[in-house]
Amino acid sequence: MHSSIDRVIDDPQSDLFVIKLIPGKGYGMFAKRDLHCGTI
């Protein structure tokens, strides 16, 4: 899943989500509503 972040960035729906770096956990995908959607 090394390309998963690229797919999120290229996805036209990506404006609904934001990628954040979680200290000690890696990257997480969050909805713009600040709901945790999943981790990468």
Q: Which is higher by pLDDT, 21 or 4? A: 21
pLDDT band at 4 (very low <50, low <70, confident <90, very high): low
pTM exceeding the 0.85 threshold for the entire prediction? no
Beta bridge partners of 31: 17
pLDDT band at 15 (very low <50, low <70, confident <90, very high): low
3-state secondary structure of 36: strand
CA atoms within 13 A on the CB side of 30: 13
Q: Would you state the pLDDT for residue 1? A: 47
Is the four-CA dihedral 15, 21, 27, 29 of positive or negative sign? negative
